[in-house]
Amino acid sequence: MKLTFIGGGNMANALVGGLIAKGAKRASLTVVEPVAAARRRLASRCRVRTCAAPDARALAADTLVLAVKPQDMRAAAAPLAGRLGGALVISIAAGIRLKDLSRWLGGHAKLIRCMPNTPALIGAGITGLYAPAGVSAAEKRRAERILGALGATVWVGDEALLDTVTAVSGSGPAYVFWFIEQLALAGESLGLAAEVSRKLALQTVLGSAQLAARSKEPPGVLRERVTSKGGTTAAALAVFEQARLAEHFRRAIEAASRRGAELGELLGRD
């Protein structure tokens, strides 16, 4: 597999590093990055080929990963239009719809869209992927192998569901960070030293997530098992219930999903 990355930012760095760790040959990887300092960092850190603009060798790849910011995608696609042949193109830009990307690429149809999240930077992410009917099973497996360098992968059957993926897992780390922050601040307000409260909150979330991941029971059952009637956990959960926290949380996810769709419309305008 010959693989070219358009964009050499954090996600491209994580993918390149993850692929090399999984046995990919450095000679098969090219990163197109216009910023000279970023190219030097990539060449030094990952020892892969870099170039400032798509050249013949970069365009000879069987797979291209578009790893640029959504607002930069149209400009990044312009020099690729009509030059991709039968290459598979994978976009990791949030909100950019395939119909718009295809148009910017001169009608190219071998496209997969995906949404990774920031834990991918340490190989602990999850990526939602969508492929239209024209993409083969072998090409989907190729995309899985590439994005698998960042962590787990899941497929959705409708491109519109990637807005929900973005709301749940793409934005999800921010919700978790916020919860850790609030849990630590609550402990501190009740007398714990700041560093002690932070460590308690962080390890509690980390350990609980690991326990849930290893358990065959759904999270609701695990929650019930640590909630004794009339106990401390029940007292806290009762406050959540009175504040209709679950309802507010669902509304927040819905708002994030709607915003994803709105950004897709905005970014795709000519």
Taking the C-alpha atoms of residue 184 and residue 119, their distance in angstroms, rounded to an integer, is 21
Share of the chain above pLDDT 90, in %: 89
> What's the average model confidence in pLDDT over 100-126?
95
Share of the chain above pLDDT 70, in %: 100
pLDDT value, residue 49: 92
> What's the average model confidence in pLDDT over 41-59?
90
Query: 44 burial class (0-12, 13-18, 19+ CB within 10 angstroms)?
Result: exposed
Structural domains for the chain: 3-162 (3.40.50.720), 172-262 (1.10.3730.10)
Q: Does 32 score more than 90 pLDDT?
A: yes
What does residue 28 show for φ and ψ, rounded to 5 degrees?
Answer: -90, 0
The angle at the Cα of 233, spanning 208 to 181, to the nearest 5 degrees, equals: 55
Confidence category of residue 45, pLDDT binned at 50, 70, 90: confident
pLDDT value, residue 148: 95
* DSSP state at residue 27: G
pLDDT value, residue 43: 83
Task: Give the global pTM.
Answer: 0.91
HSE-CB of 4 using CA atoms within 13 angstroms: 23
193-207: per-residue pLDDT in tens?
Answer: 999 999 999 999 999
Element (H, E) at 45: helix 36-46
CA distances from 216 to 21, 177, 203, 246 (A): 30, 25, 21, 23
pLDDT value, residue 111: 97
pLDDT value, residue 42: 86
pLDDT value, residue 269: 82
pLDDT value, residue 197: 98
Token pair, residue 22, equals 């999984």
> What's the average model confidence in pLDDT over 131-149?
95
Q: How many CB atoms lie within 10 A of CB 95?
A: 24
Q: Does 136 score more than 90 pLDDT?
A: yes
